[in-house]
Structure 1
Amino acid sequence: MNGMAVQDETTKADGLHSGSIRQYSTDSARWNVHYYSTVATPSLRAWYGNRKGDKIILYSEQPSPQGNPGFYRLTFSDFCNEGYNWVGEWVDKSESFSYPTWKIFCKKKKV
C-alpha cells in the first residue's frame, strides 16, 4: 500500500485467526484501523488517531463493562527495524483511569 498502511495477522493454536489493517489517511492526517477475525461480523470496528511524540495512539468509543463512558485505546510504541509493541486498554473520557487488556510484542516476519 505504498507505505501508507500496515497489516498484522495472528495465528492461534486453536486455528482461529485475527488481524488488523492500519491505514494512514493523508486527507484527515490520521490513522484508521480496522480489526477482523475468523468470526464474521457485519461491520468492522474502527479506531482513529494520530502520532503523539514517539507513539501512535488510536481511540474507539466504548463504554466500560459497568456502562461508564470511555474509549478503547490502542497505543503503538517502541518502533524499530525488528518490530514494535502495542497495548490495548479501556480508558475513561479524561484518560485518568486505564484498564489494560493486552500487550503485544510484534516482530517483523522474515521473508
Structure 2
Amino acid sequence: MKRNLEHIEYQKDTEVLAKFAKALAHPTRVAILKHLEKQSCCFTGDLVEVFPLAQSTVSQHLKELKNAGLIQGELKPPKIKYCINQENWNTAKSLFSAFFS
C-alpha cells in the first residue's frame, strides 16, 4: 500500500512539474515572471509598456501563466492586477530543484 501511495504522489508531482514547465516554455512568460517578482504586482497595461508586444499577446501569456497557477489575477475594474501565486511559485521552485538534483 505504501508503494502505491508513493507512486500516486510521484505521479502527481510529475504532472504538476510538467504543467509548470509548459508554462515556462516561452521566453516572454519567463520574463513576465521575473518582472512580477521584482514588482510584486502589476496591471496588464504596465506589462505592455515593459514588453514590446501587443496587449492581446501579453494577455495570452498571462492567461497561460494563470492557468498553470503560477500567477493570480485580481479584478480592479476596469483592469486586472497580476501577482505571483506565492504558494504555487514555491511549489514550482521545490519541484524544479528536486528534478535538477
Bucket of the pairwise TM-score, normalised by the shorter protein: under 0.3
CA radius of gyration, larger in: 2
Which protein, 1 or 2, shows the higher relative CO under an 8 Å CA cutoff with sep ≥ 6? 2
Is the helix fraction higher in 1 or 2? 2
| TM-score with structure 2 setting the length | 0.24
Is the strand fraction higher in 1 or 2? 1
| TM-score with structure 1 setting the length | 0.23
